[in-house]
C-alpha cells in the first residue's frame, strides 16, 4: 500500500504492512550482514536496516554499513568495567532503535538475559552447525574433530541459553574427506548467505510462528 497524506486516508502503518525495522549486531567481517543488506536493497525483504550496532570498533561490518548508508553505533565492550554495564549500554542502544527484529550476524558475545527478555521472539542468530550439535565457538572445528559426514548452519530465535532457541531454518552440506576447518567453513558460509536473508524475509512477512520449540513457517 502506498503512503498517502490525504486527511483521513490510511497509511502504511495503519494497514499493518509497514516495513520491519531491523537492527543488526555484528563483531567481525559481516558477510552475513552484507547478504542481508543485498537482499534488502534488491527489495526481497520487506524491511529496513535502521542501525548496525557493533561491540568491536573498526571491524569490517562497520565499513559495510557505512557503504550502504546504515547508521552505526559502536558499544565498545572494552570501555566498560563490567559485563553488566556493557549490557545496559547495549540494551539502551538497541531500544533507541525500536526494532521489530534484531539480527545477530557474527555477534560473538552471549547476550544477557535482560536483553533477550526485552526482545523475546524478536532476536535471530545464525550458527555454523546443525544445532543442537556443536554449539559455542569453533563449530566447524568441532564438526571436523568429531568426524561427522554432514554439517551445516542453523538460523534460530535466541533464548536465554547459548545456541538453544527455537530453530527457524537449517541447511546441510557434506563434509568431504580432505576438508579442513577453512574449507568446511567456506562451504557452510555459502549456505548461511542464502539461509539468513530468507529467514529474515519470512520474519518480515509475519510468516514465522513460534509454538514452543517449533517454529512454523506460514
Ligand atoms: C558465521 O559463520 C556465523 O555463522 C558465525 O560467525 C561467522 C560470522 O561471519 N557465528 C557464530 O559462530 C555465532 N555463534 P560473518 O561476520 O562474515 O557473517
| Predicted confidence (pLDDT) per residue in 101-146, tens digit | 999 999 999 999 999 999 999 999 999 999 999 999 999 999 999 9
- Please compute the mean of the pLDDT values over residues 59-79 and round it to a whole number: 97
The CA distance from 175 to 209, in Å, is 32
Indicate whether residue 64 lines ligand 1 (CB < 6 A).
no
Q: Which residue has the cell 550482514?
A: 33
**pLDDT tier, 16 (very low <50, low <70, confident <90, very high otherwise):** low
- Please compute the mean of the pLDDT values over residues 71-94 and round it to a whole number: 97
pTM for this one?
A: 0.91
What separation in Å is there between the alpha carbon of 164 and the centre of ligand 1?
Answer: 16
What separation in Å is there between the alpha carbon of 105 and the centre of ligand 1?
Answer: 6
Residues forming a β-bridge with 215: 210
Residues sharing a CB contact under 8 Å with residue 183, sequence separation 6 or more, in sequence order: 176
Helix, strand, or coil here: 212? coil
Indicate whether residue 31 lines ligand 1 (CB < 6 A).
yes
Residue with CA nearest ligand 1 atom 6: 106
Instruction: Return the pLDDT at 177.
Output: 95
Question: In the chain, what percentage of residues exceed pLDDT 90?
Answer: 92
Instruction: Return the pLDDT at 17.
Output: 78
Query: Is 193 labeled as catalytic in the residue annotation?
Result: no
- Please compute the mean of the pLDDT values over residues 187-196 and round it to a whole number: 98
**pLDDT tier, 184 (very low <50, low <70, confident <90, very high otherwise):** very high
- Please compute the mean of the pLDDT values over residues 142-168 and round it to a whole number: 97
At 59, list the grid cell.
571491524
Residue 197 φ/ψ, nearest 5 degrees: -60, -35
- Which atom of ligand 1 approaches the CA of 108 most closely? 13
- Please compute the mean of the pLDDT values over residues 160-183 and round it to a whole number: 97
| Mutate-to-test residue for ligand 1 from 29, 30, 106, highest number of ligand atoms within 8 A of CB | 106
Catalytic residue among 127, 138, 156, 193: 127
Report yes or no: 200 and 22 within 8 Å, Cβ to Cβ: yes
Residue with CA nearest ligand 1 atom 7: 106
Instruction: Return the pLDDT at 63.
Output: 98
Indicate whether residue 105 lines ligand 1 (CB < 6 A).
yes
At 207, list the grid cell.
510468516
Amino acid at each position: 500500500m502506498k503512503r498517502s497524506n490525504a486527511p483521513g486516508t490510511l497509511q502504511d502503518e495503519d494497514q499493518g504492512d509497514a516495513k520491519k525495522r531491523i537492527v543488526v549486531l555484528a563483531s567481525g567481517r559481516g558477510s552475513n550482514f552484507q547478504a542481508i543488506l543485498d537482499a534488502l536493497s534488491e527489495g526481497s525483504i520487506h524491511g529496513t536496516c535502521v542501525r548496525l550496532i557493533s561491540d568491536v570498533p573498526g571491524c569490517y561490518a562497520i565499513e559495510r554499513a557505512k557503504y550502504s548508508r546504515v547508521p552505526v553505533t559502536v558499544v565498545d565492550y572494552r570501555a566498560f568495567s563490567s559485563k553488566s554495564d556493557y549490557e545496559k549500554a547495549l540494551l539502551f542502544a538497541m531500544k533507541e532503535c525500536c526494532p521489530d527484529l534484531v539480527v545477530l550476524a557474527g555477534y560473538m558475545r552471549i547476550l544477557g538475559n535482560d536483553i533477550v527478555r526485552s526482545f523475546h521472539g524478536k532476536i535471530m542468530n545464525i550458527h555454523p552447525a546443525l544445532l543442537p550439535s556443536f554449539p559455542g565457538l569453533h563449530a566447524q572445528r568441532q564438526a571436523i574433530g568429531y568426524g561427522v559426514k554432514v554439517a551445516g548452519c542453523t538460523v534460530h530465535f535466541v533464548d536465554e541459553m547459548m545456541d538453544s532457541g527455537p530453530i527457524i531454518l537449517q541447511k546441510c552440506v557434506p563434509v568431504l574427506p580432505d576438508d579442513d576447518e577453512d574449507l568446511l567453513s567456506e562451504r557452510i558460509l555459502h549456505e548461511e548467505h542464502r539461509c539468513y536473508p530468507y529467514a529474515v524475509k519470512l520474519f518480515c512477512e509475519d510468516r514465522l510462528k513460534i509454538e514452543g520449540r517449533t517454529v512454523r513457517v506460514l
